[in-house]
Chains A and B, each alone.
Chain A
Amino acid sequence: AQKITQTQPGMFVQEKEAVTLDCTYDTSDPSYGLFWYKQPSSGEMIFLIYQGSYDQQNATEGRYSLNFQKARKSANLVISASQLGDSAMYFCAMREGLSGGYQKVTFGIGTKLQVIP
């Protein structure tokens, strides 16, 4: 079974509008972390936001917020006030077993976001 599922291969959003990128995950481990990364065409991976499984509040970082619904196992990324520079691939990722050393990070297949002027 897929550990990270991103069902939107591509998304369009008008500049200055908000957009939500979907992510659902599957784990039986009570301790895990969820990440979102941005990958522009240059290939670098840019960390955006992190949510821990025990965090009570949704994570926010500037224009990025993570809509964490633990019972539904979803961790959607919300980008507010989209900018042209936001056009990129976006990956949802998960790290399980946080209590025992650096565990590997599993990535979803990504969503390609295009911001329209």
Chain B
Amino acid sequence: GAVVSQHPSWVICKSGTSVKIECRSLDFQATTMFWYRQFPKQSLMLMATSNEGSKATYEQGVEKDKFLINHASLTLSTLTVTSAHPEDSSFYICSAPTPGGMNTEAFFGQGTRLTVV
């Protein structure tokens, strides 16, 4: 079964409002989680690396004030899209490396389809 749970799976919000997306590791503790964004028919682009107890590391070109990441516990990371605009509409997906070493793959959440109207 899924070991990373992401909610909500889809959300529609009005332009200018904020949306929070949660990513939970269910069966293990995740000190690191990754947040990706995927536009239609495109690949996954890493937005930021979420680190428990410290600030997130953002990729070049990602606005950290717009995409707020909080990793408050070992099982939960949240991504908040602040003052959302239609161009923020996208598929957002998180992942967490599983314990067991560097060679293990990362499990992904189910993804969140955000539509800003």
Which residues does A use to contact B, with CB under 8 Å? 33, 35, 37, 42-47, 50, 52, 91, 95, 98-99, 101-110
**Do A105 and B106 touch (CB < 8 A)?**
yes
The 9 closest A-B pairs by CB, nearest first: A45-B108, A98-B102, A43-B111, A47-B105, A107-B43, A107-B44, A109-B43, A102-B32, A102-B97
A44 to B111, CA, bound (A): 6
CA distance A42 to B6 in the complex (A): 13
| A-B pairs with beta carbons under 8 Å apart, 6 shown | A43-B113, A45-B44, A45-B93, A98-B102, A101-B32, A107-B43
Docked CA distance A103–B103 (Å): 11
Which residues from chain A contact B42 at a C-beta distance below 8 Å?
109
Contacts between the two chains (Cβ within 8 Å), count = 57
Helix, strand, loop or mixed for chain B's interface?
A: strand
Chain A residue contacts of B34, Cβ below 8 A: 104-105
A109 → chain B, closest Cβ, in Å?
5
Q: Kindly list chain B residues whose C-beta atoms are within 8 Å of the C-beta of A104.
A: 34, 46, 49
